[in-house]
Structure 1
Amino acid sequence: MKTAEDLRRLLERIDHRSYPAYKDTRGAYQFGKYVLSIDHVQGDPFAAPSRLSVKVPGKAAAFPKELYDKKHKRIALQDYLTRNFWRQTEHYSYQAKGSGKSGVISISRCGQEVLERTACKVDERSGEVTVRFEVGFPANGRTINARELIKILYDYLPPCVDKALCYPSLDPEKARRVMELSVDQAYIRSHLDEMGLVAFIANGSVLPRESGVSQRPMKGGIPFVSPSSMEVTLDLPNRGRITGMGIRKGVTLIVGGGYHGKSTLLKALETGVYPHIAGDGREYVVTEDTALKIRAEDGRSIKQTDISMFISDLPNGKNTASFETEDASGSTSQAANVVEGLEAGARTFLIDEDTSATNFMVRDELMQRVIHRDMEPITPFIERVRDLYEIFGISTVIVAGSSGAYFEVADQVVQMDRYVPKEITALAKDAAKEYPKLMLPEEKPARPSFERMVRSNPGIRSKGRVKLKTLGRDGVMLNHETIDLRYVEQLVDSEQLTSLGNIVRYLEEELFDGKKTLGQAIEEMNRRLAAQGLDVLSEGGCVAGNLAIPRKQEIYACLNRYRQLRGSGR
């Protein structure tokens, strides 16, 4: 292996040459206790920065095995180290001068959720730590300024590696608390099912956020306190006894006046499918990990989806057992979202009245009298919500502020009163008795068909490559095709969307063979991700450092919104 001195001599030799000469630096170099790899060199100083990685052997990193001997511990440690490395390098970014992106040093910016990322990897066997980051190689115009890059690699980077990635330089108590929180969170999640719960919200949690653009906890936010009738107590391995509100399996209705915290509670449940960092306020808000937010999504495409349990006998004779449209209405999009969630293995649906199609959610008794069932192609969700639980085992949590129709079918009703929850199930049920009883369809729904065969798009590569571009958290571009993911609300990080774009590419090239259904292809993709992690998506042996793993439910959601998805028969 080449040494750090070999790289220094090379940089001194190419100083003041034209920018492409930087490509000679690609390779691995021994820097004392770690190996620096220059994996990809940018084409010019205005292009995306160069990709680098640092590997610290297990003996040098010296992390105790107990900090990473389980997957949830390892992901938490990787998240902690990524944040440490960002804090260290932030002081040096742009200290080296030059044109374009010269001098930038960047690594993934982690949010409030703890996600598995390619930015940092701790080897489960050896304890080796790898971080992947970007550096803008300095230039004056388009002429190499190697002296400034030497500053970055020899003066700035070594202390960052030592202070951020080596256990002897860290606060051992902080590292231990990160591990213990991950263990407690995993304990709660693993016990939800046996307790008959879909979610747990600890007393003292702070659910309101700082603002619409900040996910930090609101200063002075009202701490959550469970109604006594819904209290659940757990003995966690590290924190000990903890009490909070358990949301039981079945149908749960969240009601209350405007601005009293209904949607805030639902949002906490949506993101509760991920662990949260200490200090977030929602560290002990834990939702079973398949829970899926369902909403209307006007204009989305739908491909060969069986929505007949909700929509049938359309006036135009269109087949709803294999429904297709390039411009779905609110009701058809929400029906498709429910069925696709069923296919994706969701065990809980999370629904907010404010983002739902009214005609999909409910038809009141007066409308049923005026417009007979035979004249209405839509079977509203209220008439299927019990079937979803009793036949398919899917619980539902619904936020409602304007309609009491769901009182009759709900198992539990929670009123949010100035951010304080109160159970009012008995009161709501008594009030519902004074209204006409809901008329349910006699025929029970059959399980939808998921036999959607898929084949690859032969034009996926243009001139030997696939162009991928992530549009923040709004979507991802695959060549000239935009996959709109704005309303897939449980995507919490743009790096998850970057991963989804790469997953679509991988599926197109490796698994869409015309012999598998969409579900079979995605399940195989998920097995490969579980076995190899996001490294399976690497091209040319270079693993990008800007990927975060999405859930299986979001992989399904992305493919179902991919307009270039090709059925095997077309």
Structure 2
Amino acid sequence: MQLLEAKLHKIDRHNYRSYTSLRGEYHFVDYDFFIDTVQTDPFAPASRVRARRAWSLTDLEWLREKSPVYQRAARDFIARFFAELSQQDNAVLIDMPGQVILDRTAVMFDDEGIELRFRVNLPADGRTIIAKRTMNLLTFHLPKMIRRSTIARELPMDQLKAHCEAAEDQVALRAQLKEHKLLAFVADGSVLPRLAGNSDLPLPNAVPFMSPENLAVELEAPHKGKIRGMGIPEGITLIVGGGFHGKSTLLSAIERSVYDHIPGDGREYIVTNYNAAKIRAEDGRCVHNVDLSPYISNLPMGKDTTAFTSQNASGSTSQASWLQESIEAGAEALLIDEDTSASNFMIRDERMQALICKDDEPITPLVDRISLLRDQHDISVMLVMGGSGDYLDVADTVIQMHNYEAVDVTEKARDVVASHPTRRKAEGTEVIVRPRTRQVNRSALQSLLEEGKFRIQVKDKTSLRFGREYVDLQALEQVAHSSQLLAIGYLWFQLAQLKGWEKTPARAFANMLHDDWAAMMPKYGEMSKPRVIEVMAVLNRMRKAEFK
């Protein structure tokens, strides 16, 4: 600490850029402090720092004996606690967690102790260093936050344990889905509606979810015990009902439950197959050499769809591409909302079939392909459907949402199919070949970085800067936190270190995302672990990426 104070005295009243002399390691009485990067301007991104405290000084060493899931949740909790303390001083910034428990780099455990990683806005008067203010921040206020966040007696231990046990319960429930042949599980008493369109907080006084009796199952959680709820079977599931009755709300809760939620969120006992992918239409996106032939063929002027490429895809081609890309990336289930889908990709009714003959229509709608995805490739599909009864012919399960209550209407739907048979003709009954694995050019990624001075930046969940390119990600609804995007950028950076073509990119990223994935990353505190499905989805939207 004395060394830090001496350096600050030396640069008092100097130009702001003199702060760069502070880079290095400093020893306080009970922790080590590292200043890794220093901002050169008061308006530049805040300086990156770390604080490491030995286990013997924390009374938290018992966490090392816990499961990896418990430790992940404990690190998440400590980051949240530090974030609350840091709100007292807007100069201190840590990656602010949301409603999900992610594998974050803001707090790390290793053999030596607990490490906090965060940012500090170094004070100044204009562009002049005021050493007294900086010393007050770094040697008085900040040590209090660090010590309180890394010692058992200052942490609300009951809340920490509940937080970690909720994560272990959710992982255990998710692991039971395959055994019970379920796509998802929604516990009774769950709160599905959110506070607002721009808020992920639960809606107060919302109608708690209750499972219809026919779909009720009991799963076992290690801490909470038996939990009753609605089991959504694998296969093809329709969520139907009138407008504003909760169809999309149910799908939204399910799509976001590939990750674990914090206690009190309302969705902490909803779990979904980890490899479920939400897809939608996305006008104007890029597509790189994707085989769309199972859904789109015979384009005008003989354009090939077995390796379709476009910088301005239509709604139908973008949704077909997303479907194929998701399967290529390892998706085991697809989640689709009619409201955000391309209607001509979803259905072609009997009147349109009579007006436009099949030879003049390049699109084979999903309704004619969906059962093949289930039967030939074991891919489940859940659809929110309010406007097309033709999907009732292929559905295994039909759930009606009525006043936010779920009703199993599968038998009723079968009676409707029998009494009102469809007169449309099936248009695609041949075998669907699984999408082939495309190769990605590592050298192209490297050149993008070199052109953009190796910039990898994220401001929110809607965009990732990689080199000179900004990737538009507004349609990716399953990205849980912006910190996942920064991690994705650095995963690409790792891939780009080798030359030539990566033959199996999804597998390469899966190998990187092992248990110790953060060890290969820079020592930044604003990253969290994404799924391979998200890594590939973002890469597919990079306009200058090269696939073959």
TM-score (norm 1): 0.92
Residues 1:524 and 2:524 aligned together: no
Distance in 2 of aligned mates of 1:478 and 1:122: 29
Instruction: Give the secondary structure class of the aligned counterpart of 1:391.
Output: helix
> Which of the residues 386, 403, 422 maps onto 1:401?
386
> Which of the residues 519, 534, 538 maps onto 1:558?
538
Deviations 1:163-187 (A, max 9, x none): 2121232232222212211111111
C-alpha contact (below 8 Å) 1:304/1:452 kept by paired residues: no
Q: What is the aligned partner in structure 2 of residue 466 from structure 1?
A: 454
Instruction: Give the secondary structure class of the aligned counterpart of 2:48.
Output: strand
> Which of the residues 15, 23, 34 maps onto 1:37?
34
Number of equivalences:
545
Q: What is the aligned partner in structure 2 of residue 202 from structure 1?
A: 187
- Distance change (3 Å), C-alpha of 1:69 and 1:465: farther
Q: What is the aligned partner in structure 2 of residue 14 from structure 1?
A: 11
Deviations 1:103-158 (A, max 9, x none): x11101111011112211122xx372111111111112222111111111221122
Q: Which amino acid aligns with 2:226?
A: R
RMSD, aligned CA = 1.7
Distance in 2 of aligned mates of 1:316 and 1:7: 71
Residues 1:484 and 2:468 aligned together: no
C-alpha contact (below 8 Å) 2:440/2:545 kept by paired residues: no
> Which of the residues 77, 88, 100 maps onto 1:113?
100
Distance in 2 of aligned mates of 1:106 and 1:166: 20
Q: Which amino acid aligns with 1:358?
A: S
Distance in 1 of aligned mates of 2:7 and 2:395: 71
Q: Which amino acid aligns with 1:58?
A: W
Map 1:297-316; keep pairs closer than 5 Å.
297-316=282-301
Map 1:209-228; keep pairs closer than 5 Å.
209-228=194-213
Distance in 1 of aligned mates of 2:452 and 2:221: 53
Residues 1:353 and 2:334 aligned together: no
Q: Which amino acid aligns with 1:524?
A: A
Distance in 1 of aligned mates of 2:65 and 2:399: 39
Instruction: Give the secondary structure class of the aligned counterpart of 2:457.
Output: strand
Q: What is the aligned partner in structure 1 of residue 113 from structure 2?
A: 128
C-alpha contact (below 8 Å) 2:173/2:220 kept by paired residues: no
Q: What is the aligned partner in structure 1 of residue 70 from structure 2?
A: 73
Distance in 2 of aligned mates of 1:261 and 1:438: 29
Q: CA deviation at 1:453?
A: 4.8
- Distance change (3 Å), C-alpha of 1:550 and 1:219: same
Q: CA deviation at 1:370?
A: 3.1
Distance in 1 of aligned mates of 2:10 and 2:442: 51
Distance in 2 of aligned mates of 1:22 and 1:453: 41
Distance in 2 of aligned mates of 1:248 and 1:498: 35
Distance in 2 of aligned mates of 1:453 and 1:105: 39
C-alpha contact (below 8 Å) 1:63/1:127 kept by paired residues: no
C-alpha contact (below 8 Å) 1:198/1:287 kept by paired residues: yes
> Which of the residues 413, 428, 437 maps onto 1:450?
437
Q: CA deviation at 1:7?
A: 1.3
Residues 1:237 and 2:217 aligned together: no
> Which of the residues 427, 436, 439 maps onto 2:412?
427
Deviations 1:76-119 (A, max 9, x none): 111100000011121133xxxxxxxxxx1110111101111221
Q: CA deviation at 1:16?
A: 1.5
Deviations 1:51-74 (A, max 9, x none): 111111122223243576322112
Instruction: Give the secondary structure class of the aligned counterpart of 1:449.
Output: coil
Residues 1:384 and 2:369 aligned together: yes
> Which of the residues 81, 88, 99 maps onto 1:84?
81
Distance in 2 of aligned mates of 1:136 and 1:190: 43
Q: What is the aligned partner in structure 2 of residue 187 from structure 1?
A: 172
Instruction: Give the secondary structure class of the aligned counterpart of 2:513.
Output: helix
C-alpha contact (below 8 Å) 1:207/1:224 kept by paired residues: yes
Distance in 2 of aligned mates of 1:86 and 1:345: 35
Q: What is the aligned partner in structure 2 of residue 327 from structure 1?
A: 312
Q: What is the aligned partner in structure 2 of residue 505 from structure 1?
A: 493
> Which of the residues 433, 436, 441 maps onto 2:422?
436
Q: Which amino acid aligns with 1:491?
A: V
Q: Which amino acid aligns with 2:500?
A: G
> Which of the residues 513, 525, 532 maps onto 1:545?
525
C-alpha contact (below 8 Å) 2:398/2:413 kept by paired residues: yes
> Which of the residues 26, 41, 45 maps onto 1:48?
45
Per mean C-alpha deviation after superposition, the further-off stretch among 244-253 and 466-475 is 466-475
Distance in 2 of aligned mates of 1:531 and 1:189: 18
Residues 1:533 and 2:517 aligned together: yes
Q: What is the aligned partner in structure 2 of residue 98 from structure 1?
A: none
User: Which runs of 5 or more structure 1 residues have no equivalent in the other structure?
Assistant: 94-103
Q: Which amino acid aligns with 2:493?
A: R
- Distance change (3 Å), C-alpha of 1:450 and 1:528: closer
Distance in 1 of aligned mates of 2:174 and 2:204: 27
Per mean C-alpha deviation after superposition, the further-off stretch among 257-266 and 54-63 is 54-63
TM-score (norm 2): 0.96
Identity rate of aligned residues, in percent?
Answer: 39
User: Which runs of 5 or more structure 2 residues have no equivalent in the other structure?
Assistant: none
Q: What is the aligned partner in structure 1 of residue 129 from structure 2?
A: 144
Distance in 2 of aligned mates of 1:463 and 1:516: 21
Q: Which amino acid aligns with 2:502?
A: K
- Distance change (3 Å), C-alpha of 1:136 and 1:398: same
Distance in 1 of aligned mates of 2:28 and 2:348: 69
Q: CA deviation at 1:527?
A: 1.1
- Distance change (3 Å), C-alpha of 1:62 and 1:251: same
